[in-house]
Amino acid sequence: MSVLIFIDHTEGQIKKSSLEAVCYGVKIAQQLGQPAEGILLGTVQEDLTNLGNYGLTKVYQVKDEVLNRLDPQIFARIMAEAVGKAGAQLVIFSNNINGKAIAPRLSARLKAGLASGVVALPDTSKGFVVKKNVFSGKAFAHVSLDTPIKIVTLNQNSYPVTKLEGKAEIQEWQIPSAGGRVKELSVTKASGEIPLTEADIVVSGGRGLKGPENWPMIEELARLLHAATACSRPVADAHWRPHNEHVGQTGIAIAPNLYIAIGISGAIQHLAGVNRSKVIVVINKDPEAPFFKAADYGIVGDAFEVVPKIIEAIKKLKAV
């Protein structure tokens, strides 16, 4: 079963979530005694031969600048052709926004079984069985993919990135990118220096912060930690923060290494978007706040006293 991994990128950089997908795909290929190959649509600044450092033997590239912007229909069509050309039987995406947009379309084109939000290596002892999140991360399901071509999207932060030594061979393919039915008229970039879905650390504020005038301390803490900022839904609904920062069941689902929740109660709909974070720190003045049950570390205290102290401590630490 040959393995093809989709390598996603933004602004000329390969996304970390894609490197996780690469390492995951390489491990499966090793399990199956097959080579692992990657495919990149568009152009990046990095030398693609370096993807050999993550275990890829070959990287196919469709070097067309039009493909630096996602059009899921075009990407699915090109990927369908690429899967045929590469003779791939297992295709892996990161379960990020782009992966979620392309994988189901590709699945429909190839009549391939799709398991999305996978969190562990498959069991290949009796077919191909993957473990995936269901019910917003409240449970796991084991799913058997029985179709000749299988597609998997890997949840972010579910598989570690391991660096090896190696060089990948690069092969350029000419596959036409014309034919999209969606025309992009303009792009408005989300605010914030670090994209929320790619951030290692996220500092998030809720209604306990009382109003938008109190966000400078959240932004300062985020800046010091090189973190992205997020918020609960009522905060975005009240226009204290932009909607692209709203995390949860009806907002963005994230899985950073560290999620710091400040003045957020921890309603189930909020947790649905953040409970895959590796470490959760909760700051809340109510010791009964439900978020403490999901927290790895908790501080019971007033955010307006606790956060400035944390900021001060980080500044001191950085000055040393």
Q: Which of 155, 39, 27, 19 has its CA nearest to residue 100?
A: 155
Q: Which stretch binds ligand FAD (CB under 6 A): 39-47, 79-87, 99-107, 231-239?
A: 231-239
Q: Does 249 bind ligand FAD (CB under 6 A)?
A: yes
Instruction: Tokens for 83, please give them.
Output: 């899967």
Q: Which residues have CB under 8 Å from 75's CB, separation 6+?
A: 41, 67, 98, 101, 102, 105
Q: Determine the Cα–Cα distance for residues 38 and 58; give it in Å rounded to an integer.
A: 6
Q: Does 289 bind ligand FAD (CB under 6 A)?
A: yes
Near ligand FAD by CB under 6 A: residue from 52, 72, 192, 251? 251
- Shortest reach from residue 264's CB to ligand FAD, in Å: 4
Amino acid present at 197: T
Near ligand FAD by CB under 6 A: residue from 157, 232, 275, 277? 232
Q: Which stretch binds ligand FAD (CB under 6 A): 97-105, 139-147, 170-178, 243-251?
A: 243-251
Alpha helices, DSSP H only, in 164-302?
Answer: 216-224, 233-237, 268-274, 291-294
Q: Does 269 bind ligand FAD (CB under 6 A)?
A: yes
Please say which residue, 60 or 292, places its beta carbon nearer to ligand FAD.
Answer: 292
Contact between 143 and 129 (Cβ < 8 Å): yes
Q: Which residues have CB under 8 Å from 232's CB, separation 6+?
A: 204, 205, 206, 207, 246, 247, 248, 264, 267, 270
Near ligand FAD by CB under 6 A: residue from 98, 156, 229, 265? 265
Q: Determine the Cα–Cα distance for residues 22 and 137; give it in Å rounded to an integer.
A: 23
* Burial annotation 66-76 (CB, 10 A radius, 16+ → b, else e): ebeebbbebbb
Q: Does 137 bind ligand FAD (CB under 6 A)?
A: no
Residue 23's H or E segment, with its range, is helix 16-32
Q: Which residues have CB under 8 Å from 178's CB, separation 6+?
A: none
Near ligand FAD by CB under 6 A: residue from 99, 113, 263, 298? 263
Near ligand FAD by CB under 6 A: residue from 52, 55, 273, 298? 273
Please say which residue, 72 or 205, places its beta carbon nearer to ligand FAD.
Answer: 205
Q: Which of 55, 248, 247, 259 has its CA nearest to residue 160?
A: 55
3-state SS assignment for residue 306: helix
Please say which residue, 151 or 203, places its beta carbon nearer to ligand FAD.
Answer: 203
Please say which residue, 179 or 287, places its beta carbon nearer to ligand FAD.
Answer: 287
- Shortest reach from residue 246's CB to ligand FAD, in Å: 6
Q: Does 215 bind ligand FAD (CB under 6 A)?
A: no
Please say which residue, 172 or 288, places its beta carbon nearer to ligand FAD.
Answer: 288
Chain centroid, CA 148 distance in Å: 27
Q: Determine the Cα–Cα distance for residues 256 and 226; give it in Å rounded to an integer.
A: 12
Near ligand FAD by CB under 6 A: residue from 224, 304, 311, 314? 304
Please say which residue, 124 or 269, places its beta carbon nearer to ligand FAD.
Answer: 269
Q: Does 30 bind ligand FAD (CB under 6 A)?
A: no
Near ligand FAD by CB under 6 A: residue from 35, 166, 195, 234? 234
- Shortest reach from residue 27's CB to ligand FAD, in Å: 33
Q: Does 243 bind ligand FAD (CB under 6 A)?
A: no
Q: Does 158 bind ligand FAD (CB under 6 A)?
A: no
Can you give the binding site for ligand FAD, defined by CB under 6 A?
206-208, 232-235, 248-251, 263-265, 267, 269-270, 273, 283-286, 289, 302-304
